[in-house]
Amino acid sequence: MSPSPTPALRRTAAAVLSAALLAALTACGDDLPAASGSDPAAPSASTAPKAITVLAAASLTDVFRTAGEAYQKSHPDTKVTFSFAGSQELAAQVRQGAPADALVTADTRTMEGLKAETGDATIIAKNRLVIAAGKGNPFKIDELGDLANAKIKVVLAAPEVPVGRYSKQILDAQRIEVKPVSLEPNVRAVLSKVELGEADAGLVYRTDSTAAGDKVVAVEIPDDQNAVASYPAATLKQSRNAEAAAAFVTWLGTPEAQKILRDAGFQQP
């Protein structure tokens, strides 16, 4: 039987074991997750940006992207995401409970039909229609009556879409019968058909033809033959960030936002 270790040997062995355990724990500590609140650079729940989703009419696509960037620069505590579609599609999404915080439509009728789901609406801009003719305007279209020419392929928005309803309104008022080659779900789809040469002309908002640049020729429609489109904005009662949504809707009426809208061709509310 081997002799028992002396007290000195026992003390030495304990010291070595303690040192080894300390070294092991220190090495493992680099891979452990930091304790809550230990990283001063990590955003807390109170400082993390609030996220809001804005449902917006398709004709606002370009200008709202610019407006969103401007808003986030002056409001770094808020992240804005947009979902663009025809106003009638947006209304359906709201009624189905789609997760969103604010709504901007291209007509007051659609917004009024959603009173139970929205806060008070405010008009942020207005718009008018133009004839978008194909590049170079090969058919020399210069007035609404030209759209009745059977040789010209005309595309319109569907009548349940605001721009489609405005189009029908002004054509009916002038007793102009147009047989469209297609009825599209939103104004951008109408514009795209003309840009791609799939149609010779279409009725779109003035701002959409401006955004298209030289891809189309904008033929102005006299005011007494035209229609005015109003754009109301409102928060949604289902919003999970009601305060942030209300702040964005209010901002749309400020001089900064109104200048962005004017620069894009929209008219004052």
Note whether residue 176 is domain-resident.
Answer: yes
For 133-146, give the secondary structure using H, E and C: EECCCCCCCCCHHH
pTM for the structure as a whole = 0.80
**CA angle 9–14–20, rounded 5-degree value:** 130
On whether both 183 and 252 belong to a single domain, the answer is: no
**Res 180: pLDDT:** 97
**Res 194: pLDDT:** 98
Buried b (16+ CB within 10 A) or exposed e, 243-260: ebbbbbbebbeeeebbeb
**Res 164: pLDDT:** 97
Give per-10-residue mean pLDDT for the chain (269 aa). 43 41 35 37 58 97 97 96 96 96 97 97 98 97 97 97 97 97 97 97 97 95 97 97 97 98 96
Residue-wise DSSP of 109-123: HHHHTTTTTB---EE
> Any residues with CB less than 8 A from the CB of 225 and at least 6 apart, and which?
144, 170, 173, 174
On whether both 134 and 201 belong to a single domain, the answer is: yes
- CATH code, domain carrying 103: 3.40.190.10
Distance CA 151, CA 170 (A): 21
Q: What residues pair up with 122 in beta bridges, in sequence order?
A: 233
Distance CA 52, CA 239 (A): 8
**Res 33: pLDDT:** 36
**Res 159: pLDDT:** 95
On whether both 121 and 248 belong to a single domain, the answer is: yes
**Res 205: pLDDT:** 97
On whether both 118 and 150 belong to a single domain, the answer is: no
> Any residues with CB less than 8 A from the CB of 117 and at least 6 apart, and which?
94, 95, 236, 237, 238
Q: How many domains, the chain?
A: 2
On whether both 83 and 140 belong to a single domain, the answer is: no
Note whether residue 43 is domain-resident.
Answer: no
Q: Would you tell me how many other CB atoms lie within 10 Å of the CB of residue 100? A: 23
**Res 95: pLDDT:** 96
Q: What is the DSSP letter of 100?
A: -
Structure tokens of 202? 């279409």
**Res 144: pLDDT:** 98
Residue type, 167: S
On whether both 208 and 219 belong to a single domain, the answer is: yes
Could you tell me the residue range of the domain that residue 208 belongs to? 128-228
**Res 8: pLDDT:** 43
**Res 49: pLDDT:** 79
Residue-wise DSSP of 172-194: HHTT-----SEEESSHHHHHHHH
Note whether residue 37 is domain-resident.
Answer: no
User: What are the CA-CA distances from residue 131 to residues 172, 221, 245, 265 (Å)?
Assistant: 15, 7, 35, 15
**Res 46: pLDDT:** 54
